[in-house]
Structure 1
Amino acid sequence: MERVEAEKLETDAATKVWSVHDFCKRHRLCAEEERRLTSLFGMFATARELLNNAQRTPKWR
């Protein structure tokens, strides 16, 4: 087992905190989905939380 010091860890993009509104705008999510994510997390959440909980409708050709 390897011991890792917290100071040596790099922060990755998944730990970035996003505004739910900005995330929904960037990922082209509908207003209903934005309301759902806001009720789950409030005004801000990490990218990982948002990506794992966003429901996207399939885009058929």
Structure 2
Amino acid sequence: MNQTKKLTVEQVLEARLRDAAGERDFKKLAEAYRIARSTITNAVLGKTFKDLPMPPRGR
């Protein structure tokens, strides 16, 4: 994917919540937000958007 779209704060928080709820397929999340998988992975794992809260991870 060669796109330059950036995530909004709301999208990052939603993606982190989806991940915490067990939706850990970063490829599907990337497709849902129409961005590169590395972009969503970094945002969800807190490598980017470090100032935003991280929800507790599911079991």
Name the TM-score class by shorter chain: 0.3 to 0.5
More strand by share: 1
**Greater Cα radius of gyration, structure 1 or 2:** 1
TM-score, scaled to structure 1: 0.33
Question: Could you say which structure has the greater relative contact order, defined with CA pairs below 8 angstroms and 6 or more residues apart?
Answer: 2
TM value normalised by structure 2: 0.34
